[in-house]
């Protein structure tokens, strides 16, 4: 395949939708990006407008073409890959293409009553042997149940076969391939593994779980591999005739883009939330320490590769909260400057349990806490505590991962927007006691989706090409003494206990 063959990735994220064109070397040619509105109807509720997302995807594609040098068009693209915010649920009318309700975002906690009802006497692990996940508000299935139960006429339409559901990859793909006029309704194994509805062993929808959640099977997309030709772009679109050939949930895409192809390799993506994935090979490893068992990727007909995952709800969004809700900083970048103005956190610890605590605690009753404050504490200490919170949460997950896998991590590959914060990266290395490594191309989520699509059409021959393209950009070595590291972490764990049992059962949101 020619060296000047290009692949586009569409990255439909939690805060924005992007289109990025990559060349054969995995280098960025051009990008387009638009943010979408974060809708908060009530405490604990988080929504997006699916139509806004679809409009933004189209505009981002147009921006990427307009910004490209040389001037590229769809005829220059060998394939398109999609990566997306996972677990976020969209339900839409297959005849009109209109969503019946806003997308319910992965951070949303409104489904707690549904989750509790499903758990019953068997508890949160009722379906874990089948789908690898605990019952939690995080996942897609209960969100779809809520929409069918609460939107007038939705359940009747669904039972008649008039509604479709999916994560945002399915919504974007369906629209890209024609929408009501022949749109293809497909998801990949990585996204399907986040719904609570897929059997990890068979890679098929589990009829009994769907029945328990009262979700008609007719709504569900076909489950495909992460790298194959699903369909071509619709005739009237900017990507007309281009094969859409890769789909990976955002965290799995980053794992793929980071070339974590060997068992025991792990990466952490620092975005809105924080997500650590460890490749466990073709083995389904059940967690005893609060982690998720999930699909890592499946390339065409090759064996399925699985992963352990630690999901952290709040990371970069905590910095946004300082900026938007408190006005403590004017830009996200300012948090590092502010934090560098003090020597340490002044004894202050920030546990951002805004949506409860995810891995390894899974406590929906937790809420955020800023503890240890004295009159000595200033905004620099709060900024530092904000940065450190992400590193502490990551250490909790890595400790659980080491225990589950039986193999201690020797280095952590990192990506995502927060890796530009060098104070955080150094503190992360200090807390883990292992090197933290950032690649030259930090856009590994989009890159992973591009690789999956490109492999399907022959732009890249396989995993070795991804490994050859990967290059180290920066490395942080641990510099903190053991005693100080453990003292800090001990205080963090104490702070976590202050967030628990905060929400009364009858007002859980």
Q: According to the annotation, is 138 in a ligand binding site?
A: yes
Determine the Cα–Cα distance for residues 491 and 102; give it in Å rounded to an integer: 40
CA distances from 39 to 14, 111, 207, 332, 364 (A): 12, 17, 33, 20, 20
Q: Tell me which H or E stretch contains 35.
A: strand 28-35
Name 11's bridge partners: 18, 83
CA distances from 215 to 6, 287, 374 (A): 40, 27, 51
Q: According to the annotation, is 15 in a ligand binding site?
A: yes
Q: According to the annotation, is 18 in a ligand binding site?
A: yes
User: Beta strand pairing status for 243-249 and 227-232?
Assistant: antiparallel
Helix (H/G/I), strand (E/B), else coil: 371: strand
Cis amide linkage into residue 482, ω under 30° from 0: no
Cβ pair 166, 221 in contact under 8 A: yes
Q: According to the annotation, is 345 in a ligand binding site?
A: no
Q: According to the annotation, is 417 in a ligand binding site?
A: yes
Q: What is the DSSP track for 131-163?
A: HS--S-TTSHHHHHHHHHHHSTTHHHHHHTT-E
Q: According to the annotation, is 440 in a ligand binding site?
A: no
Q: According to the annotation, is 56 in a ligand binding site?
A: no
Cα pseudo-dihedral 67, 332, 12, 239, rounded to 10: 0
Cβ pair 310, 360 in contact under 8 A: yes
Q: According to the annotation, is 166 in a ligand binding site?
A: no
Task: Count the residues in the chain.
Answer: 509
Q: According to the annotation, is 251 in a ligand binding site?
A: yes
Determine the Cα–Cα distance for residues 429 and 134; give it in Å rounded to an integer: 30
Sequence ranges of the binding site for glycerol: 86-87, 138, 250-251
Sequence ranges of the binding site for ATP: 14-16, 272, 316, 320, 417
Sequence ranges of the binding site for ADP: 14, 18, 272, 316, 417, 421
Sequence ranges of the binding site for sn-glycerol 3-phosphate: 14, 86-87, 138, 250
Sequence ranges of the binding site: 14-16, 18, 86-87, 138, 250-251, 272, 316, 320, 417, 421
């Amino acid at each position: 395949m020619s060296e000047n063959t290009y692949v586009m990735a569409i990255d439909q994220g939690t805060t924005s939708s992007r289109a990025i064109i990559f060349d054969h070397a995995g280098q960025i040619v051009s990008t387009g990006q638009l943010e979408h509105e974060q809708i908060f109807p009530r405490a604990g509720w988080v929504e997006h407008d699916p139509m806004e997302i679809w409009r933004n995807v189209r505009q981002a594609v147009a921006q990427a073409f307009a910004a490209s040098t040389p001037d590229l068009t769809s005829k220059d693209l060998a394939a398109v890959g999609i990566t997306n915010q996972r677990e976020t649920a969209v339900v839409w009318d297959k005849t009109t293409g209109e969503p019946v309700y806003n997308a319910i975002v992965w951070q949303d906690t409104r489904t707690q009553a549904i989750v509790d009802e499903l758990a019953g006497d068997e508890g949160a692990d009722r379906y874990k042997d089948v789908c690898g996940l605990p019952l939690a508000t995080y996942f897609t299935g209960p969100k779809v149940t809520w929409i069918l139960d609460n939107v007038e006429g939705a359940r009747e339409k669904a039972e008649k076969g008039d509604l479709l559901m999916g994560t945002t990859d399915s919504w974007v793909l369906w629209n890209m391939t024609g929408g009501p006029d022949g749109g293809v309704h497909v998801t990949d194994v990585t996204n399907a593994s986040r719904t609570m509805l897929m059997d990890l062993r068979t890679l098929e929808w589990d009829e009994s779980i769907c029945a328990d959640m009262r979700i008609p099977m007719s709504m569900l997309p076909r489950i495909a591999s992460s790298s194959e030709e699903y369909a071509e772009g619709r005739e009237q679109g900017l990507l007309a005739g281009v094969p859409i050939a890769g789909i990976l949930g955002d965290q799995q895409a980053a794992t793929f883009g980071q070339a974590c192809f060997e068992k025991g390799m792990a990466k952490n993506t620092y975005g809105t939330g924080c997500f650590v994935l460890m490749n466990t090979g073709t083995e389904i490893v059940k967690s005893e320490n609060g982690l998720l068992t999930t699909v890592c990727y499946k390339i065409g007909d090759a064996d399925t590769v699985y992963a352990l995952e630690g999901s952290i709800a709040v990371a970069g969004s905590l910095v946004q909260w300082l900026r938007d809700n408190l006005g403590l900083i004017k830009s996200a970048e300012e948090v590092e400057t502010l934090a560098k103005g003090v020597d340490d956190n002044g004894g202050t610890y920030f546990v951002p349990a805004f949506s409860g605590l995810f891995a390894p605690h899974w406590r929906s009753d937790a809420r955020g806490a800023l503890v240890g404050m004295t009159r000595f504490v200033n905004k620099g200490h709060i900024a530092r505590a904000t940065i450190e919170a992400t590193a502490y949460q990551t250490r909790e997950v890595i400790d659980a991962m080491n225990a589950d896998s039986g193999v201690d991590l020797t280095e952590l590959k990192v990506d995502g927007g927060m890796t530009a914060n060098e104070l955080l990266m150094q503190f992360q290395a200090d807390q883990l006691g292992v090197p933290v490594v950032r690649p030259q191309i930090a856009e590994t989520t989009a890159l992973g989706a591009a690789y999956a699509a490109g492999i399907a059409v022959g732009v890249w021959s396989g995993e070795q090409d991804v490994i050859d393209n990967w290059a180290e950009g920066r490395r942080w070595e641990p510099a903190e003494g053991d005693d100080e590291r453990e003292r800090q972490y001990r205080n963090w764990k104490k702070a976590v206990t202050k967030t628990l049992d905060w929400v009364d059962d009858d007002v859980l949101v």
